[in-house]
């Protein structure tokens, strides 16, 4: 397993093709943002797309970005677009990506990272603590969690 950063790798078209295998609506949206070269416009110029790979296969991915579905710019950075392909689930592979994202955020001088979700029990097992409910970009309630670095 290896973590690569999408914007620094040399074979972006391959990883976009791998994203096409994602059965999640947000994964499809992420792929479209990449094809349009607009992910950084959507999430902020410092956005990183972290890819956990197994050879030429995509195992899991997430973004570390200035903004996410919650547009409150006082909270930053955000973990977003979190997905692990079904055949790799149950091994806590997202934890490897989270660890790398935390290293980057800490190097950038942040005290916390944030995630918004409607899921229960997923992020708590990685040490995230519930902070508050906030409205997402669609006006729906979302749980905002934070993790101290």
Domain of residue 43, CATH code: 3.40.630.30
Over its C-alpha atoms, the chain yields an Rg (Å, rounded) of 14
Closest CA to 114 of 76, 149, 84: 76
Structural domain that includes position 54: 2-148
Please state the domain count of the chain.
1
pLDDT digits (tens, 9 = 90+) for 40-90: 999 999 999 999 999 999 999 999 999 998 877 789 999 999 999 999 999
The answer to which of 71-75, 118-122, 129-133 has the lowest mean pLDDT is: 71-75
* The predicted structure's pLDDT at residue 70: 86
Q: Distance between CA atoms of 21 and 58, rounded to whole angstroms?
A: 9
* The predicted structure's pLDDT at residue 10: 87
């Amino acid at each position: 397993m290896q973590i690569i950063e999408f914007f620094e790798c040399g074979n972006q078209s391959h990883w976009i093709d791998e994203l096409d295998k994602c059965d999640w609506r947000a994964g499809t949206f992420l792929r479209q943002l990449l094809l349009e070269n607009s992910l950084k416009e959507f999430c902020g110029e410092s956005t990183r797309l972290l890819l956990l790979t197994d050879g030429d296969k995509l195992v899991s991915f997430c973004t570390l970005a200035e903004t996410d579905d919650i547009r409150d710019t006082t909270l930053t950075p955000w973990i977003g677009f979190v997905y692990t392909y079904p055949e790799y689930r149950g091994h806590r592979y997202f934890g490897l990506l989270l660890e790398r994202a935390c290293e980057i955020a800490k190097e950038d001088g942040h005290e916390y990272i944030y995630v918004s979700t409607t899921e229960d029990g997923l992020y708590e097992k990685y040490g995230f603590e519930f902070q508050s409910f906030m409205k997402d970009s669609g006006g729906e309630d979302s749980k905002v969690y934070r993790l101290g670095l």
